Structure 1
Amino acid sequence: MPTGVALRDPRQHLFDAAVRVLIRAGATGLTSRAVTVEAGVAKGVLHRHFADFDAFLTELVLDRIARVHAQAADLRDTAGTGAVADNLTHALETLFEPVMVAVVVLVIARDELRTRLRAAGTARFPLVGEGTAMIAGYLSAERDLGRIAAGADVDTLAPTLIGATHLLFTGGSEEPPTRGAVHKVVATVLAGVLR
């Protein structure tokens, strides 16, 4: 393994390597050795920045959760502009990109990771819970603007949209669903509440 190579941001370099391994080899193929080999660094680099591999994975997922929080702020900013179904379609396609889907599988597969994430204050179902909160926040903003019915139950609509879209993205096909398929789910779920 190479040694003595200066890395600008070793944590991000390791996260990027982990994502590549996760996409290629799945949750079972994601090991500290696989990450350091992919990153082209000595194994000690990972342990210099993280207490152990589960601490590394926890930080990886927390990094992804931070991205969902940033996406939520961007989505809220679109309230009152464009078509509600179009805004949600774009948000859901972004949320369920391949890395997100792979990280959700990783969280499900590792008990210690879930324990550490809960201790860090994540949603009960990390990433999926934050995604649901993002959609609920957006729907609430649109309801406040009158673009969704005043009586719309956003706390039911949000997890319905997340669950249905998640199934589209994990339905067994190698290819992600088309934008049209995602839009159809959004339009169907919101059919009774859009104004």
Structure 2
Amino acid sequence: MPTGVAIRDAREQLFDAAERILLRDGPSALSSRSVTAEAGCAKGVLHRHFRDFDGFLAELVEDRVVRVERLGAELRDRAGTGTVADNLAEALTAVFETVALAIVSLVTYRDELRARIREQRPSGLPILTEAGTMLADYLAAEAEIGRIATASDPGLLARTLIGAGHLLFADRTAPRPELPAVRGLVTAVLGDALTS
């Protein structure tokens, strides 16, 4: 794109381009040049909006964390509707079909990025930690209305679902798991905790 041509929502356009690269090619393919080329804009656009490339990546991670937190609010609102297994299967799919696995790889791959993220989020892995909180909150809401056994541990169930979901979706080159497979995973993990 020639210099001087305005792009709408440049930050979001750059974030989306980085996500596509991460999902398609993995973290080793991510550079400021690859992101701007994917976004169809001049390299200087990235540097006008972000201090440096790791600053861009840190804001990308934060933007995607906010998306998971919004998904969590939507999931909590679904407590008492549909089935618990379907609600959780759809939430896991929404988290893992997007950029969650790529973010984990990216944070693991780049030391400077990990250090910057630790300044804001001192524990856990971004996206997966928030997804675990999202699932635990939903399971606690379902326990309050009796669809999950009150003796169950929503936090432990949520962490188990995140770990099992991570393994199910881990191979970005394989076909994505179908919803029935994700639902089967949820049902197996919840076991006797699932009352309806």
Q: TM-score, normalised by structure 2?
A: 0.94
More moved, 179-188 vs 18-27: 18-27
Match of 2:81 in 1: 81
Match of 1:109 in 2: 109
Q: Which runs of 4+ in 1 moved over 4 A?
A: none
More moved, 185-194 vs 17-26: 17-26
Per-residue CA deviations over 1:86-140 (Å, capped at 9, x if unaligned) read: 1101111111014222222111211211221121236521111001000000001
Match of 1:118 in 2: 118
Give the CA deviation at 1:69.
0.3
Letter in 1 for 2:33: R
Letter in 1 for 2:136: A
| Conservation of the 8 A alpha-carbon contact between 2:65 and 2:130 | yes
Give the CA deviation at 1:37.
1.6
Match of 1:95 in 2: 95
More moved, 118-127 vs 100-109: 118-127
Match of 2:160 in 1: 160
More moved, 139-148 vs 117-126: 117-126
Please list, as runs of the form range in 1=range in 2, the aligned pairs for 1:10-25 lying within 5 A after superposition.
10-25=10-25
| Conservation of the 8 A alpha-carbon contact between 1:19 and 1:99 | yes
Match of 2:64 in 1: 64
Q: TM-score, normalised by structure 1?
A: 0.94
Q: Which runs of 5+ in 1 are unaligned?
A: none
Give the CA deviation at 1:24.
2.5
Letter in 2 for 1:142: E
Match of 2:147 in 1: 147
| Conservation of the 8 A alpha-carbon contact between 1:2 and 1:40 | no
Give the CA deviation at 1:153.
0.9
Q: Which runs of 5+ in 2 are unaligned?
A: none
Per-residue CA deviations over 1:59-102 (Å, capped at 9, x if unaligned) read: 11111000000000000000011111111011111110142222
Letter in 2 for 1:105: S
| Conservation of the 8 A alpha-carbon contact between 2:23 and 2:172 | no
Match of 1:187 in 2: 187
Letter in 2 for 1:66: V
- 1:33 equivalenced with 2:36 (yes/no): no
Match of 1:138 in 2: 138
- 1:42 equivalenced with 2:42 (yes/no): yes
| Conservation of the 8 A alpha-carbon contact between 1:118 and 1:124 | no
Per-residue CA deviations over 1:13-68 (Å, capped at 9, x if unaligned) read: 11122122222321001001111122222222111110000000001111100000
Per-residue CA deviations over 1:166-195 (Å, capped at 9, x if unaligned) read: 100014752111111111110011111111
RMSD: 1.5
Distance 1:20 1:169 in 2: 17
Task: Work out the number of aligned pairs and report it.
Answer: 195
